[in-house]
Structure 1
Amino acid sequence: METTAESIKGIATHYGVNGKQLSTQYKEIFSDYRNWAQLNHATDYLLFPQNMGKSLSIDETCLSSGEVYTFLTNKEGRGGPGTMVAVIHGTKAETVIAVLEMICSLKRKEVEEITLDLSSSMMLIARTVFPKARITNDRFHVQKLYYDALDDLRITLRWMARDLENQEIKRCREQGIPYIPFRYANGDTRKQLLARAKFILTRHESKWTASQRWRADIIFEFYPELKNAYQLVMELTSIYNTKSHKDAARLNLAKWFDRVSKLAGNAFQTVIDTFINHYDTILNFFVNRQTNASAESFNAKVKAFRSQFRGVSDIPFFLFRLSRLCA
């Protein structure tokens, strides 16, 4: 890893040198920042066409004070040199497309697959800029969509439990008797049971502890709608984990859709509508089983790099240092 302004400043402070002055000298003289070929447009975009590959990822990340940038990365770079293909200020499809179209069309047509989340804007960018590429929606974003619907059901039930408790307290007050909250066999009240259900509903039953399994049995006995929804999320995980052909996965997902459609709640209908709208790109996962994990990992790396400098006060210089590591 290259020497950073902060590390130089720390060394300077240790030896009694003016750290701020040395940090400035690093930026203006030692780092060769002022001779950087992309300095003039660094705030708006960076392009590294030489890092294009056959398998790309596209995602967004926040650099500083809500400033969002779109990152196009090469999976083969694995987060190191050769990873960054483009960095573009904002997520507006027209802006990102205009920058990426600066890359030679022949190179763009060589891209075979691009992974992304469920963002319609990102899909428009991918279809426009990489016309020959297979677009694959990340499986983890798809699964998270269903988990969110499941949690929405849990929260709804918890509000109902809260209302029921308020009614019981009011009745006891009117009758002049002390209020004793209802408790299940494991000692949880209704609100506690549903609050503690969140962790259980996001884990496979094989990973439950004994106390969690007891709590899960109580949850599923008194709230069968949560049991049905949980079983379906496990079925979706099983479909994704099974190495099957795309056509076989299509049939399994169709059966899964049918069962989800019978669940009550607007959130589950949103899940179905989203699956229908992105059906082909969701199924493309079963071709090469590619995910957007590399983009998420790169985003985590950017955020860790950002935290080392306690935020980003100078975005062009930050991107310069990032490009030295990853481009």
Structure 2
Amino acid sequence: MAERGLFERALGLQWPWRVKRTEFDAAECRLDLHLDFEPGGTFDCPSCGRGGCKAHDASPKRWRHLDFFQHRAYLHARVPRLRCPACGVKQAKVPWAEPGSGFTLWFEALVVALAREMPVRAVARLTGEHDTRLWRLLKRRVGRARAEADFSSVRAVAVDETACRRGHDYITLFADLDRSRLLYATPGRTASVVSLFREDLEAHGGRAGRIRDLCMDMSAAYMKGAREAFPEAGITFDRFHVQRLMNRAVDEVRRAERKERPELNRTRYLWLKRRDRLTASQRERLDALLDPAGQGLKTAFAYRIKLAFEAFWDLPPRLAEIYLEKWCSWAAGSGLQPVTDAAKTIRKHWDGILLWFRSRITNGMIEGINSLVQAAKARARGYRTTEHFITIAYLVCGKLDFKLPT
């Protein structure tokens, strides 16, 4: 009696549930707890919540529970069907597990916590369960938590892509810039994914008209989708993606010039890294290449144009447009085709670049989410399906409330 009472308190059982008997097999490393409800016990209807419903009949079920020391533990119980005057015959809910699950709530909480930190296959080995069952558990938990998520406070959204597997298999991520959480992930990187996000946003209490800012790279597909799905939102182009245009232009000039100027060999990162991140010897070598006395390097000229563009981001907003106009004219007349092309691209995205001085938003946060998702993928050495990859993305970065015991 004392033993059964101990397990009843540990499981938090309340009337009419009780521990009927226990079975312990040391050779099999297994503990089985058999639960039952008291004769005449009543239950709440799972549909309408009406109390006092009597059991109609019952069917036996089993659930995997947390291990008892080094022994696997299982709960067994007859789950009653109820006769509700309003809803008819319904199966009662048990307090230790979700309907249709073969695991207790505590076991599910353990799997969710472990899957955030390690590959699901490793969790399967640790718990002794097949990973297919655990994936079903995680998808169900993530789906339920997302269904209850509230997006009504979302005002600023970042958009980015991430590789699902090798090749050109991508998913698009949408993140809440104010709360640093993943809102939505979907396969593809076409204009239509933005419309899918809008549908998901509104299904969770958000409104397209409340979105004041979108931050993204200069993808034509994302721009088209954003203008169609969020016509009232301002589109800010991520400053680091914009700056990357000039980095690439400088590198293209260097690669073309190094065929005639061997001193440019092994200098790629001298031109691409920030000066304050170079070592003393690297700065000395860069200064020598920038010395105008007899060098005349096209790469050095492109580098100076790049530095002038970096200074653009530190300007007061009232001077930004004037400065950018002069810079574009200088870059377009440089005679360096990659630099000229970069200036044309910047002119094409003029409004979204200048909008940064109002919104001051970047994709830095979603790049962090991207790195966390890619780190999880690397630990797992990839995922079998895109659905698995998206499930882990929500699990790791969605800040979802799973409403599980701690």
Query: Does structure 1 conserve the Cα–Cα contact (< 8 Å) formed by 2:161 and 2:189?
Result: yes
Query: Does structure 2 conserve the Cα–Cα contact (< 8 Å) formed by 1:108 and 1:130?
Result: yes
Query: Does structure 1 conserve the Cα–Cα contact (< 8 Å) formed by 2:174 and 2:197?
Result: no
Secondary structure at 1:50's aligned position in 2? Answer: coil
Paired letter, 1:253: L
Secondary structure at 1:311's aligned position in 2? Answer: coil
Paired letter, 1:200: L
User: What residue number does 1:239 align with?
Assistant: 312
Distance in 1 (CA, whole Å) between partners of 2:249 and 2:147 is 38
Distance in 1 (CA, whole Å) between partners of 2:148 and 2:160 is 16
Q: Deviations over 1:217-253 (max 9, x none)?
A: 43234234322221221121122133x11x3100111
Secondary structure at 1:146's aligned position in 2? Answer: helix
Paired letter, 1:197: T
CA offset at residue 281 of structure 1? 0.4
Within 5 Å, give how 1:167-178 maps onto structure 2.
Answer: none
Distance in 2 (CA, whole Å) between partners of 1:32 and 1:302 is 16
User: What residue number does 1:317 align with?
Assistant: 388
User: What residue number does 2:230 align with?
Assistant: 130
In the superposition, relative to structure 1, how do residues 65 and 213 fare at CA in structure 2: closer, same or farther (>3 Å)?
closer
User: What residue number does 1:295 align with?
Assistant: 366
Q: Deviations over 1:156-199 (max 9, x none)?
A: 111234xxxxxxxxxxxxxxxxxxxxxxxxxxxx2xx2123212
1:2 partnered with 2:110: no
Distance in 2 (CA, whole Å) between partners of 1:309 and 1:84 is 20
Name the TM-score, length of structure 1 as normaliser.
0.75
Distance in 1 (CA, whole Å) between partners of 2:141 and 2:286 is 62
Runs (4 or more) in structure 1 with deviation over 6 Å come to 46-49
User: What residue number does 2:188 align with?
Assistant: 90
Q: Percent identity?
A: 24
User: What residue number does 1:284 align with?
Assistant: 355
User: What residue number does 1:77 align with?
Assistant: 179
1:118 to 206, 218, 233: 218
In the superposition, relative to structure 1, how do residues 266 and 95 fare at CA in structure 2: closer, same or farther (>3 Å)?
same
Which is helix-richer, 1 or 2?
Answer: 1
1:11 partnered with 2:126: yes
Secondary structure at 2:174's aligned position in 1? Answer: strand
User: What residue number does 1:215 align with?
Assistant: 285
CA offset at residue 272 of structure 1? 1.4
Q: Which has the higher contact order (CA 8 A, sep 6+)?
A: 1
CA offset at residue 114 of structure 1? 0.8
User: What residue number does 2:170 align with?
Assistant: 68
Paired letter, 1:69: I
1:54 partnered with 2:155: yes
Name the TM-score, length of structure 2 as normaliser.
0.62
User: What residue number does 1:197 align with?
Assistant: 267
Distance in 2 (CA, whole Å) between partners of 1:95 and 1:255 is 37
| Greater mean deviation of Cα atoms: 58-67 or 277-286 | 58-67
CA offset at residue 51 of structure 1? 3.1
2:254 to 143, 151, 154: 154
Distance in 2 (CA, whole Å) between partners of 1:95 and 1:54 is 19
User: What residue number does 1:167 align with?
Assistant: none
Distance in 2 (CA, whole Å) between partners of 1:306 and 1:124 is 30
Within 5 Å, give how 1:17-28 maps onto structure 2.
Answer: 19=128, 21-28=129-136
Q: Deviations over 1:61-99 (max 9, x none)?
A: 111243211111111232xxxx22221211121354255
Paired letter, 1:8: V
Distance in 2 (CA, whole Å) between partners of 1:3 and 1:292 is 29
Query: Does structure 2 conserve the Cα–Cα contact (< 8 Å) formed by 1:154 and 1:226?
Result: yes
Give RMSD over aligned pairs.
2.7
Which is strand-richer, 1 or 2?
Answer: 2
Distance in 2 (CA, whole Å) between partners of 1:114 and 1:95 is 14
In the superposition, relative to structure 1, how do residues 257 and 307 fare at CA in structure 2: closer, same or farther (>3 Å)?
same
Paired letter, 2:162: T
Secondary structure at 2:171's aligned position in 1? Answer: strand
CA offset at residue 288 of structure 1? 2.7
Structure 1 gaps, min length 5: 13-18, 39-45, 162-189
Query: Does structure 2 conserve the Cα–Cα contact (< 8 Å) formed by 1:47 and 1:87?
Result: no
